Amino acid sequence: MNAKQIIAAGTIVLLALCLVPAVDADTYITSDPSETLEFDNMNGGDISFSVYSDSPFTMDIRVVNESGGATIYTGTYEIRSGNNDVTIHVEGLDEGDYYLNVICSGSSGEFTGPSSFHVNVHVDKNILSNWATYAVIIVVVIVIAIFAYLKLRDNPKDKPQMTFEELEAQRKAEMAQKAEKKQKKEKPASSGTERKRYTGGDRKAEATAEAPAEKPVKEKKVKEEKPKMTFEELEAQKQAEKAAKAEKKKEKSGSTGLTERERYLAEKRKKKEQE
């Protein structure tokens, strides 16, 4: 084979290679929700699906409401090589049923298989989205607060329980405070008394110096209280006093040698003589 034939064969091979189309990487949706999804009108809900790709790229996602044709979600997701689990959050839907179309795409046409799917969504009304719920909660809180206030007002606060050592220490502290208050009260009174005594002593000394001839005042004897006696003891004391008086009377009559009658007659004669 000469050189011309070799060049011609090479040219044919190159042309054939140029005519073969380039093979793109495989990218497609592998799974999507088959059940109706439950959303609520306050928090919305999530839509999850899976995407497989041979090469990483940035995927664009768009969710369209089929009933009105409005786009309710747009976003992007970074796809890596292999299987990818994708979750998007959709919200802003009112209460009702929706039929949504989720569309995925790449900037360079990466998808070679399924790139979209449809899903049914049911949106419930969230109880917190109703103003009446907040009104009921406020009323309940107010009622509980009033009840707690009345309960605390009617029941006095219980004193905290204390151990025996704590009670003993508290009692000693109270006694010490009382003793200290008592000492404070007694101190000014005693000082005043001492001052009176001191000044009184000086005055007495001056009075003694000025009038030495004055007689000392006799102190009155304080009668000692007799001990209480029983009826029998009082009766015995009376009998003893009567006996003592009779004995004295006998001694008097015995000393003069006259009877009572004789003494009476003698006194009578003496009066007549004087007259």
Confidence of residue 22 (pLDDT cuts 50, 70, 90): very low
With respect to residue 71, please indicate whether it lies within any of the assigned structural domains.
yes
Q: Show the CA angle centred on residue 120, arms to residues 119 and 126, nearest 5°.
A: 125
237 to 190, 233, 245: CA distances (angstroms) = 48, 6, 12
Confidence of residue 20 (pLDDT cuts 50, 70, 90): very low
Place of tokens 């607060």: 145
With respect to residue 162, please indicate whether it lies within any of the assigned structural domains.
no
Tell me the two tokens of residue 166.
Answer: 């704590």
With respect to residue 70, please indicate whether it lies within any of the assigned structural domains.
yes
Place of tokens 């497609």: 28
Which parts of 211-259 fold into alpha helices (H)?
A: 231-256
Q: Cα–Cα distance between 122 and 98 in angstroms, integer?
A: 6
Place of tokens 């969230």: 126
Query: Taking 80 as the threshold, does the pLDDT of residue 42 lie above it?
Result: yes
Query: Taking 80 as the threshold, does the pLDDT of residue 240 lie above it?
Result: yes
For residues 162 and 71, the model is more confident at: 71
Mean pLDDT of 241-266: 71
Q: Cα–Cα distance between 122 and 113 in angstroms, integer?
A: 28
Gap between the terminal Cα atoms of the chain: 220
Residue % of the chain over a pLDDT of 90: 29
With respect to residue 211, please indicate whether it lies within any of the assigned structural domains.
no
With respect to residue 39, please indicate whether it lies within any of the assigned structural domains.
yes
Q: Cα–Cα distance between 201 and 264 in angstroms, integer?
A: 62
**What pLDDT score was predicted for residue 87?**
95
With respect to residue 247, please indicate whether it lies within any of the assigned structural domains.
no
Query: Taking 50 as the threshold, does the pLDDT of residue 10 lie above it?
Result: yes
Mean pLDDT lowest for which of 34-38, 183-187, 194-198?
194-198
Query: Taking 70 as the threshold, does the pLDDT of residue 212 lie above it?
Result: no
**What pLDDT score was predicted for residue 158?**
55
Domain that holds residue 76: 27-126
Query: Taking 50 as the threshold, does the pLDDT of residue 21 lie above it?
Result: no
**Cα dihedral sign, 133-139-142-143:** negative
Confidence of residue 184 (pLDDT cuts 50, 70, 90): confident
Domain CATH number, residue 64: 2.60.40.2550
With respect to residue 3, please indicate whether it lies within any of the assigned structural domains.
no
Query: Taking 50 as the threshold, does the pLDDT of residue 255 lie above it?
Result: yes
Coil/strand/helix, residue 106: strand
Q: How many domains does the chain have?
A: 1
Query: Taking 70 as the threshold, does the pLDDT of residue 241 lie above it?
Result: yes
Q: For 42-102, what is the HEC assignment?
A: CCEEEEEEEEEECCCEEEEEEEEECCCCCEEEEEEEEECCEEEEEEEEECCCCCEEEEEEE
Place of tokens 């209460």: 95
Query: Taking 70 as the threshold, does the pLDDT of residue 209 lie above it?
Result: no
For residues 235 and 56, the model is more confident at: 56
With respect to residue 185, please indicate whether it lies within any of the assigned structural domains.
no
Mean pLDDT of 268-274: 78
**What pLDDT score was predicted for residue 35?**
92
pTM listed for this prediction: 0.42
**What pLDDT score was predicted for residue 273?**
78
Per-residue pLDDT of 114-148, as tens digits, reads 999 999 999 998 877 666 666 778 888 998 988 88
Give, as one character, the DSSP assignment of residue 127: G
Class of residue 202 by CB neighbours under 10 A (exposed 0-12, middle 13-18, buried 19+): exposed
Query: Taking 80 as the threshold, does the pLDDT of residue 69 lie above it?
Result: yes
Mean pLDDT of 63-76: 92
Mean per-residue pLDDT of the chain: 77
